[in-house]
Amino acid sequence: MTWKTLGAVSPGGLSEARVELHWAAQLLSAPGVSLLPASADYSHTNLGWDFELGVLRGRPVGSELLRAAMVFEGLELLVLDGERERSSMRLAGHTLQQSLSWLGRELAGEGATLVLPVHDMPSHPVGEGGVFSDAGAPARAELDAWFSNAFRLIQETVAGESSGSPVRCWPHHFDVASLITVDAGVGAEEARSIGVGFSPGDGSYDQPYFYVTPWPYPDATRLPSLAGGMDWHTTGWTGAVLTAERLLSVPPAEQQRTARTALGSAVAVSRELLGN
């Protein structure tokens, strides 16, 4: 696995870029919302990572199976034809609606109308009709490294799990995750499961973090110790968490090993807590 060294921009300097990218990512989900049959699990809206091109990309749509994609550092919206860039647009200086209109024309022709997914989104001028900014490229490049690493690491963690779901980015929370289902043939709410994921930051932590969440949540007063610098989060939800600050406290050469150990250990602990 190719690990990108983290820490060029401190975790505390990523918040503005993260929220703006979160809004931009809604553009990548719009084709799935507008042009694909709706799935009960909202998988028609989720996003993947293209390691060859280094972009976040949406679902293929239309007869030509085109995809919307985004370059983080340059804040650039792309239309991909397979692995080839068909057209592009810099988001800086444009509103969300202007960008959505351009994307609709590029994907489905003049007059095509795309709609954005409906979520509770973090406050940002772009969400109120403002334009995307050209500032913050270093922070966006750092978030690119976090997302690339997260997709690879989570894929590696769940690779041996036959019930592990594909690793995808979900536009609502802008997190990357896979779900390991412990109980087969049981409803989603009743089945025991282990979520393995990454958030670039949210209301729980204003910094990137990896997480492993056993479901049902275990007794928060009887949680075992964790390896790799992970700690238990127990406010609002229960899960093992490895924050950016903790991961960046180790030497760069140790980041990958530390993160891999942390997630692997937390999955094993979660299985024990769930009696599996």
Task: Indicate the burial class of 21 (C-beta count within 10 angstroms; 0-12, 13-18, 19 or more).
Answer: buried
**181 and 116 co-located in one domain:** no
Within 8 A by CB and 6+ apart from 211, the residues are 195, 196, 197, 198, 199, 233, 239, 240, 241, 242
**CA–CA separation, 114 vs 34, rounded Å?**
5
Domain shared by 87 and 108, yes or no: yes
Cβ-proximal residues to 170 (8 Å cutoff; 6+ apart), any chain: 42, 45, 46, 47, 176, 177
Q: Answer yes or no: is 1 within a domain.
A: no
Co-location of 169 and 63 in the same domain: no
The answer to whether position 78 is within a domain reads yes
Is residue 3 a part of any domain in this protein?
no
- Are 244 and 181 in a shared domain? yes
- My answer on whether 204 and 105 are in the same domain is no
- Residue 106 is predicted with a pLDDT of 96
In this structure, is residue 2 part of a structural domain?
no
Whether residue 153 sits in one domain with residue 85: no
CA–CA dist 263, 249 (Å, integer) = 17
The predicted pLDDT at position 153 comes to 98
108 in the same domain as 175: no
* Same domain for 155 and 219: yes
pLDDT in tens, the chain (276 residues): 589 999 999 999 999 999 999 999 999 999 999 999 999 999 999 999 999 999 999 999 998 999 999 999 999 999 999 989 999 999 999 999 999 999 999 998 887 889 999 999 999 999 999 999 999 999 999 999 999 999 999 999 999 998 999 999 999 999 999 999 999 877 767 799 999 999 999 999 999 999 999 999 999 999 999 999 999 999 999 999 999 999 999 999 999 999 999 999 999 999 999 997
Whether 196 is covered by a domain: the verdict is: yes
Give the end of a domain, one of 128, 148, 173: 128
| Amino acid letter, residue 210 | F
Give the range of the structural domain holding residue 261, as residue numbers without chain letter: 137-273
Q: Which of 128, 147, 180 is the last residue of a domain?
A: 128
Q: Which of 99, 128, 157 is the last residue of a domain?
A: 128
**C-beta of residue 117 within 8 angstroms of C-beta of residue 172:** yes
Q: Is 120 found in the same domain as 220?
A: no
Helix (H, G, I), strand (E, B) or coil at 87: strand
Assess whether 117 and 141 both reside in one domain: no
Instruction: State whether 234 and 257 are in the same domain.
Output: yes
Q: How many domains does the chain have?
A: 2
Answer yes or no: is 5 within a domain: no
The answer to whether position 6 is within a domain reads: no
Count the Cβ atoms, other than its own, within 10 Å of residue 14: 24
Q: Indicate if 177 and 226 belong to the same structural domain.
A: yes
